[in-house]
Amino acid sequence: MTERRATVRHKTFIKGRIYFNNRLSSMDCIVRDVTNNGGRLEFSENVMLPDAFELYIPHKDEYFQVQVRWRRGNNIGITWRPEYGLSPATEHGRSEHAMADRVAKIEHEIALLHKRLDALQS
């Protein structure tokens, strides 16, 4: 089965934290897919979240304003909220297209570290 996707999807496994309720509430998630338009978040259980919230990626120390696009079980599809852009990436002159590139680079680095770890354990 071929996917009909307008943008390239990058598979990821990045820890994230979401903030909502005026930053009074938060919870952990895993960023599982990223595209130039949004991504997919996975939670350890089904969660009730507002339709818009802030996503924090601790590894990069970056925050993103997101909008929920769909919900299925313990997964939520998100889009980057254009009215806010990607923050702080936008502040540093990077476009939202750079997010997928950064995620791909991080995933490549993780894969290299896994190979090194496997070699050390052998």
CATH of 10-121, one of 3.50.50.60, 2.40.10.430, 1.10.10.10, 3.40.50.720: 2.40.10.430
Per-residue confidence at 27, pLDDT binned at 50, 70, 90?
Answer: very high
The pLDDT tens digits for 107-120 are: 778 888 888 888 88
Q: Are 63 and 55 in contact (CB under 8 A)?
A: yes
pTM reported for the whole predicted model: 0.63
Task: Identify the three-state secondary structure at position 26.
Answer: strand
Q: What is the pLDDT of residue 38?
A: 92
39: enclosing H helix or E strand = strand 38-42
Q: Are 96 and 36 in contact (CB under 8 A)?
A: yes
Least confident of 54-58, 70-74, 100-104: 100-104
Q: Which residues contact 117 (CB under 8 A, 6 or more apart)?
A: none
**Is a pLDDT exceeding 70 seen at residue 49?**
yes
Once rounded to an integer, what is the mean pLDDT over residues 9-20? Answer: 91
Once rounded to an integer, what is the mean pLDDT over residues 27-56? Answer: 93
